[in-house]
Structures are given as structure tokens and as C-alpha cells.
Structure 1
């Protein structure tokens, strides 16, 4: 397995920063936010799975608003099935793709009960079997709920990894593997959150806030956005 992984790493795009620079990036992000957490509200692994699945093409703020009352009524798969698809749909109708997401919430709840004894699985292969759960969602759940050092690459992480040059890749899997390769072990647990939050609030899509960036001197992005 180790040889296989090394061969895979050898075909990935090479980082534009060296290991010392990458470690310094994480050091600064850690200093600014020592205990990063997801901004989604959840109370257990099940509600986290549902919240992350609902967050596709929706904001965390919007998902939290939609799930507040839903999770008060149903914070486990059995209770969610008892609510039924129509009630779930009514609770989440303010977020994108709510009809299909309501169907998936019911389907994944049934699968967790039938296939996994009512417990959210802790490995990626089983998690991605759940309707509405892809690789990114599985990685978030493994990291946040089960303390596994995974890297859930969304649009923010993909952008930061490529812009900074720390872990370039043409798709999310390449970026994920590259980040896992270059991230120092001591930062692996929080890396997903640090990079995501940096992309969400500082290294934003259209006009990055380079003038207010803690890692601007290390980042390879050009030209830097001037102070407004």
C-alpha cells in the first residue's frame, strides 16, 4: 500500500512552495484559529451527515437555519423516517435542490438503519454508499465526527490550494492527495478547516483580500489585490 501511494504521489503536480513554506502557512493559520471546527450545527454523527449532505450548493448559514427545527424533531435516523419526506422537505425548502435532498435524507436514514445498525459508518467506502453522500461529505464526517485526518476538498479549498501553490491539482482528488502529501502531520486534523475558512473569508473567489491575508508573502498568487 505504501509503494502504491508513493507511485500515485509521484504523478501529482508538484507544489510551488517548499515544505518549510507550507508548514509556515499552517503555523500562521493555526495561530489565528487554534481549534477550527465546521460552521455547520450538529449534535451527533448522524445530524452531521445530514447537514453536510444538505450543504451542497447552499451556505452553512442557510443550512443551519433550515435544520434548526428539523433536528429538534429528528436527530436520529428512526425519528427522521417517522417524520417522512414531506415534512423534511417543508423544513429544508429554503435551500437549493431541497426536493432531491429531502429524498436523500430519507433514503440515507433508512440505509443507516438497515445496513449499518443505526450507526453512521466511520469509513469512506461505506459512507459514500449513503444517498447524497460523496467523497467530500464522507471526508468531512470522518474528520469532524470521528477524528480522522482527511481532507474534504470543496471549491474554497480547491481555490486556495491552487492559488497559493501549496497543493496544485486539476481536480478535487488531485488537490486532496497533494494536500495530504504536503501537510505536516501535526496539522493534519485541522488542515481541512483552516484552508476552507481561509478561502471562505480571505482568499475569496473574485477578488482575494491579499491586503488582509496572513500568508500573502508566501502565496504565489499574482497580482496581489491592493488595499482598497
Structure 2
């Protein structure tokens, strides 16, 4: 039984089953915006792990294959971005300013919220990675000595919330380029998946926002936290 619980095939099957079940239930519920497929899948997966008393570390170790695919999946998002290259060149200035402002604000607002809630030191550091896509965020979390499991949970939950709120919060933005870039920066991978459902252009610029925000944050955040902790 112990060897089965650590089997990569078991947790790969469970994860994919919950993912497909999330989409099926979402359709059965008439696709409510407040309960996206990713959130349904997450609830099913967490419920199963709690019901069978499976530690998160066991699940994560048995699911390394999917974790490995996060990197190639992120790189593959460059394909729709390349197809929108002319529009990217035309808007390079405004997007650059948005990137810098959004990177700093995303970290500062998340850490301030954790600090105001009187969370632990490690939790505050984990919140610093909130707006960065998972593969990059875990690397940043290791450098700043933040809890990896907590950082992963914060990233996933914030991405789901961002994908849920895209219509009410960004509905006034008529340009898919601007909407996608903001969604990618704020909600990373889950937001980019939602942006691809809106339009190819929205998805391409969401991938750009997610990738550039991750790279920029990885460059300045560890050094900034190191200076803060002195």
C-alpha cells in the first residue's frame, strides 16, 4: 500500500481525473463564473487527499511528472506571442511601464496583506511570490527561504480568483492586448488559460505578462528581501 501511495502513475491518474471531472461538473452547473473548472478540480483533489489522509509531500513527490511539464508548458506559450509580435513592438513602451509597476505592486500588496493579518514570517515571504507563475515562484521561494507548499497554494488560489474575477474587473477594458497582459501578470498560469479562452491575442499577451513578470520579479525580489531581512 505504501509503494502504491508513492506511485507517480497513481497521482498522475488522480490529478487528470479530477481535472476532467472539474470541466464536466462545470458544464453540468451551466458554467458559472464563480466556480471555474480549476477550482472544482482543486476541491475534488484536496477532498480526496484529506479523506485518505495523504500528506501533500507524498502527493507532490508522486506527481513530479506534471510538475516537470510546467516549465515546457510555460515556454510553449511563446508560440501565440510570436504570432502577435508586430502588436507587441507597437506597444512596448506602455507595456514596459505596466510591467515594472505591476511587478512591484503585486509583491508589495501581497506582503502587506499578509503582514496586516499578522501571519508568520515564512507566510509573509510566501505571499511575496503570489503573482509569479509556479515554476519561477518556487525558485524564488527557495532563494528567500519561504515554505514551498504554502507558496504553491497561494499561487494556485490567487490564479483561480483572478480567472474568476476577470469579467467583472476587466470587462471595461476593450483591448484584448491590455486585458491579457494584466490577466497574465495578476493571475499567471490559470489567468493565461482563461485568457486563451477569450481570444488568441488575449492569450498571447497574457503569456507575455506572466513570463516577463516572473523574470523581472526573480531578478529583484530575492535581493530586495535580503536587504529587508538585514
TM-score bracket relative to the smaller structure: under 0.3
Question: Which structure is higher in helix share?
Answer: 2
- Using the size of structure 1 for normalisation, the TM-score is 0.28
Structure scoring higher RCO (CA < 8 A, sep ≥ 6) equals 1
